[in-house]
Amino acid sequence: MPYRTPTSAVRHTSKFGENFILSFHPSIASTARVARMVILKFLLFIHIIITSATTHNDGRQFVSREQGGNLKRSHVFMPKQTKKANSTDQFRRKLRLPHFAKPRHYEIHLYPNLISSTFSGVVEITVEILDHTHFLVFNVVDLTVNHASIHFKDQAPNKVVFFKDDQIMVIGFGKELQLGEGVLCMQFNGTLNDDMRGFYRSKYQYKGKIMDMAVTQFEAVNARRCFPCWDEPDFKAKFKIILVIPSELEALSNVPVSSEMVSGPIKTIQFEESPLMSTYLVAMVVGIFDFVEGVTSQGTKVRVYTEVGKSGQGKFALDVGVKLLDFYNDYFGTSYALPKLDMIGITDFSPIGMENYGLVTFHVPDLLLDESSSTPNKQQEIVVNVAHELAHQWFGDLVTMEWWNHLWLNEGFATWMSYYAIDYLFPQWNIWIGFVEGTISTLRSDSLAGSHPIEVEIHHISEIDGIFDDIIYNKGGTILRMLQSYLGTERFQKALAAYIKKYAYSNANTEDLWDVLEAETGEPLKDYMSAWTKQPGYPVINVKREGKGIHLEQDPFSLDGSSRSGLWDVPITLSCASSTKKFILKQKYYNLDSCGKQEKDGNFLIKLNINETGFYRVKYDKEIAAKLQNALETNMFSSVEKIGIVENALKISVARKDTLSSLLYMLYAYREEANYIVLKHLIDIISVVAKVSIDATPNLAGEIKQLLIKVLQSPTVKLGWDPINGEDDHDASLREMLLVSLVELGHNKSINEGVRRFYALIHDHNTSILSPHTRRAAYLSVMQIVSSTNRSGYDALREVYKNSTDMEEKLRVLGVLLSCRDKDVLLESLNLILTNEIPNQDAVHVLEFTSIDARETTWNWLKENWDRVLEVVPQSDLLWCIVNNIVPLFTSNDKAEEISKFFTNYKDPKFQTVLKRNLNDVLISMRWIDGIRSEPELAQTVHELLHKA
């Protein structure tokens, strides 16, 4: 927003004004500078009181924002002399602020007005001049700065320039600034925005009313939207915050309250001085709250703040938070640095959580738990969220990355550390499976053209928000886990404790981390790890038997066939027969002459990447793969390793580094699998294989589906259709997934049973023959036999939709309507979107579960009826549904080009990013199909496995 020059201050005095001044500065006569700033703050306070909306309907009184004239971009405020050419342009278009001056201490006075959604403030920044300069350069955006109020060391600047694109203000002085410390003072105004960044407003309920609260979210570069500052991570300083708010409200910040003074409708809250920290970690919240409280073993007070009346929903997070702080204190060997830790749920909040030092903010659903309706999955989600943000109190807050290209030192560490802590506190959860699922997703994205290194290059501050992605979080976390696995738990812990101790209250970069770890472990880790952080991608390790030993070879892995280069020092963990080995694969090739005690038949089982701790893929030769399959059938591996093995087999096949036949052999080895998490992953892979077979080998697709059915039959038979007494939520969810998968694969027995149960439900609505978890499978079964000449089941489903008052049931019906092969029925279902039978807000659910048989009909109908559909379905919902649910069903280059052209005019960057990613998936599928078609032994493999006992 443009800068404005405020109106003249109103001169007014009172006894309250004297107390107000003294509350900030007990010894105001110590220097002329202090006296001047006290008077400025006092006059500002009186002015905003006079100009404010005096009383609202609930009796609250607020300050208001000053108004004034516009200051256009790059306009120069020069009361004493004319502008010298290019005197300030030297600071333009720079990624970083100059380091000839550094802030050491901020004193910030803020007056938020929740009626007008504005705020006013005064800041005093103790700045140390480190080199010769006539200028101070700092960050400002979306603030109105009172130029007449700017002073440094009792000097008024002769130049004030704002460069909007660079988000900086440059102030120049007539004479060179003396080395040493001085205080920079200024007054400013801003808006409590609705953008969920900077100092903004959110909603909450209080006594049945919707109220506004003031909240901060400063990461990555948004502190400058609240107060002028050096808004970069390595400009750490101490902060003293004073908030002037209506007396009935409360305020939170990073540190405890040091004093509170109430004078009528106004309350002045001073907080203690903070430790050294970066601006993006400063936090404030103003509103009315409840809280629950606990204390750690070291005496740290922990609170979870909620809306009034909902404090019970914070008890779970509180209990977890106390345990986690105790764990982290022990692990790092450095105690939590603040006397308190607050966590609060915010209704309008963009990230899941934000690790503000001592005041961690969360989106409400990601912190609070209604235990009366909670599930184990929801509990785990909250624990992961809390563990991640509390790990940041050390990795990020106490030790902060030097610049945003080292963001992984914050987010990668917090990702790995949170799972490590949870596994210690809740070993029964087997939480590492969740971590590995994140690794699997990131292995995929990092194998595509356009990926980026962990140490991502930043060219402009506008790019910073975009680097918070799975490469930073999951790849960063996985390479740490890989390193821990190689070094050993105790060595790694000791080294990290030394790193934390050395850089506490300071900043570090990636090289600093490797230096400390090298010194503590004696390993040349900088050599080992540089390639992992400085180049994109990762290797695939090819493993072959050679006599009594094995031969390893690494190649860059590419899922999409793009040309890639690179060589990594790969920390290999390997199990061989009854022994394990660890070593660094430094070259492209490596021969391991012996691998442990051989089995009686002269062969032995080889498995790389123990517990899936490494960030690489593995391709085994046929002999080793056959041994792995035998081991899978005898249940020799952990759940996490089972997932890793089959995921490797899938992606190696998709990348055309191995055959679909090899993948089918591996899938067949899972036919007796019973673990919920493994089967969930297996079902996803089976769905992918079934879909690709339709286009790759249409003559063989039916037999491939029958083979996939054979893989899933055993666990399905064990669970059956009916709930079992004493079963948990996982069993019910698994039953639904298995039955739906078998129906979609065309399993006649499951389809017939689903149809039978559906008609039993139609004839007796009170029957328990279909539980909520089996209804989707039954409804899908009906749609498999529906046609334009046999539509009784279709009509019955439509009646279920019309008569049901249960929204979940209604959406369940809508989600199966595009699951038949009859084109006339499909068109009838699509046309329902344009009728009054389906409310507009539900119409998009018809499209969400489009089957592969319906893809062409659905896409052509959408093109022909596009404008009419947009009148019914919100554009954003329609676009996201198509790009995520329909586009991936296609497998041809022509279709990818057609879709891309159709959406050319939809310019939203996020939409185009997702569209590009999913169109790339179409091309990957097309490439995989070409490889499958060239497999000479595929039919023989399918027939062999189908008839295998």
Contact indicator for 688, 695 with CB cutoff of 8 Å: no
- The predicted-structure confidence for 778-794, as pLDDT tens digits, reads as follows 999 999 999 999 999 99
Q: 579: which residues sit within 8 A by CB, 6+ positions away? A: 595, 596, 597
Residue 422 in tokens: 């949870």
> Would you tell me how many other CB atoms lie within 10 Å of the CB of residue 231?
27
Residue-level pLDDT at 375:
79
Residues annotated as catalytic are 389
Taking alpha carbons only, the member of 608, 736, 743, 617 closest to residue 679 is 736
Residue-level pLDDT at 38:
53
- What would the mean pLDDT of 408-413 be, rounded to a whole number? 96
Euclidean distance between CA atoms 600 and 607, whole angstroms: 19
Residue 883 in tokens: 């790009």
Task: Using the predicted structure, report yes or no on whether residue 733 has a pLDDT greater than 60.
Answer: yes
Work out whether the CA dihedral 739, 742, 748, 749 comes out positive or negative: negative
Euclidean distance between CA atoms 658 and 545, whole angstroms: 17
User: At 198, is the pLDDT very low, low, confident or very high (cuts 50, 70, 90)?
Assistant: very high
- The predicted-structure confidence for 355-394, as pLDDT tens digits, reads as follows 999 999 999 999 999 877 777 888 999 999 999 999 999 9
Residue 21 in tokens: 């001044």
Euclidean distance between CA atoms 842 and 844, whole angstroms: 6
Taking alpha carbons only, the member of 359, 357, 362, 343 closest to residue 398 is 357
- What would the mean pLDDT of 712-724 be, rounded to a whole number? 93
Cα distance between the two ends of the chain:
73
Work out whether the CA dihedral 707, 708, 714, 718 comes out positive or negative: negative
User: At 840, is the pLDDT very low, low, confident or very high (cuts 50, 70, 90)?
Assistant: confident
- The predicted-structure confidence for 31-86, as pLDDT tens digits, reads as follows 444 555 555 555 455 544 443 433 333 333 333 333 333 333 334 444 443 444 44
Contacts made by residues 255-262, CB under 8 angstroms, sequence distance 24+: 255/338, 255/339, 255/340, 255/358, 256/339, 256/340, 259/23, 261/19, 261/23
> Would you tell me how many other CB atoms lie within 10 Å of the CB of residue 351?
15
Map residue 155 onto helix, strand or coil. Answer: strand
- The predicted-structure confidence for 415-434, as pLDDT tens digits, reads as follows 999 999 999 999 999 999 99
What's this model's pTM, rounded to 2 decimal places? 0.87
Residue-level pLDDT at 592:
84
What's the per-residue H, E or C state across 540-566? Answer: EEEEEEECCEEEEEEEECCCCCCCCCC
Residue-level pLDDT at 84:
46
- What would the mean pLDDT of 315-328 be, rounded to a whole number? 96
As a residue count, the chain comes to 949
Residue-level pLDDT at 645:
96
- What would the mean pLDDT of 233-249 be, rounded to a whole number? 96
Task: Using the predicted structure, report yes or no on whether residue 734 has a pLDDT greater than 60.
Answer: yes
Does residue 220 have a cis bond before it (omega within 30 degrees)? yes
> Would you tell me how many other CB atoms lie within 10 Å of the CB of residue 437?
17
Pairing type for strands 250-253 and 284-287 reads antiparallel
Taking alpha carbons only, the member of 686, 443, 415 closest to residue 559 is 443
**Maximum separation of any 2 CA atoms in the chain, in Å:** 98
Task: Using the predicted structure, report yes or no on whether residue 244 has a pLDDT greater than 80.
Answer: yes
Task: Using the predicted structure, report yes or no on whether residue 720 has a pLDDT greater than 70.
Answer: yes
Q: In what order do the strands lie in the sheet with 549-556?
A: 589-592, 549-556, 539-546, 617-620
Residue type present at position 154: D
Task: Using the predicted structure, report yes or no on whether residue 511 has a pLDDT greater than 80.
Answer: yes
Beta bridge partners of 590: 552
- What would the mean pLDDT of 727-752 be, rounded to a whole number? 93
Euclidean distance between CA atoms 658 and 227, whole angstroms: 57
The enclosing H or E element of 111 equals strand 101-113
Work out whether the CA dihedral 98, 101, 102, 107 comes out positive or negative: negative
Q: DSSP of 441-466, one letter per residue?
A: HHHHHTTSTT---SS---SSGGGGGG
Residue 395 in tokens: 């990795």
Residue 690 in tokens: 């079934």
CA distances, 85 to each of 76, 82, 88, 98, 896 (Å) = 12, 9, 8, 20, 53
Euclidean distance between CA atoms 734 and 18, whole angstroms: 70
Task: Using the predicted structure, report yes or no on whether residue 295 has a pLDDT greater than 80.
Answer: yes
Taking alpha carbons only, the member of 607, 734, 617 closest to residue 681 is 734
Map residue 291 onto helix, strand or coil. Answer: strand
Residue-level pLDDT at 579:
82
| Mean of the per-residue pLDDT values of the chain | 88
User: At 603, is the pLDDT very low, low, confident or very high (cuts 50, 70, 90)?
Assistant: low
Residue 459 in tokens: 């060219």
Residue-level pLDDT at 799:
94
- The predicted-structure confidence for 138-165, as pLDDT tens digits, reads as follows 999 999 999 999 999 989 999 999 999 9
Euclidean distance between CA atoms 7 and 13, whole angstroms: 18
What is the radius of gyration, based on Cα positions, of the chain? 32
Task: Using the predicted structure, report yes or no on whether residue 226 has a pLDDT greater than 90.
Answer: yes
Share of the chain above pLDDT 90, in %: 78
> Within a 13 Å sphere around the CA of 86, how many CA atoms are in the beta-carbon half?
1
Pairing type for strands 168-172 and 180-191 reads unpaired
Helices 748-763 and 792-803 meet at what angle, rounded to 10?
Answer: 50
Share of the chain above pLDDT 70, in %: 90
- What would the mean pLDDT of 535-559 be, rounded to a whole number? 93
- What would the mean pLDDT of 615-624 be, rounded to a whole number? 95
More confident residue, 397 or 11: 397
Taking alpha carbons only, the member of 170, 57, 52 closest to residue 119 is 52
User: At 17, is the pLDDT very low, low, confident or very high (cuts 50, 70, 90)?
Assistant: very low
Residue-level pLDDT at 12:
32
More confident residue, 836 or 12: 836
- The predicted-structure confidence for 444-488, as pLDDT tens digits, reads as follows 999 999 899 999 999 988 889 889 999 999 999 999 999 999 999
Contact indicator for 145, 229 with CB cutoff of 8 Å: no
User: At 549, is the pLDDT very low, low, confident or very high (cuts 50, 70, 90)?
Assistant: confident
Contacts made by residues 878-882, CB under 8 angstroms, sequence distance 24+: 878/844, 878/847, 879/903, 879/906, 879/908, 879/911, 880/911, 880/914, 881/844, 881/847, 881/848, 882/847
Query: Which spans in 697-771 are helix H?
Result: 701-719, 729-745, 748-763
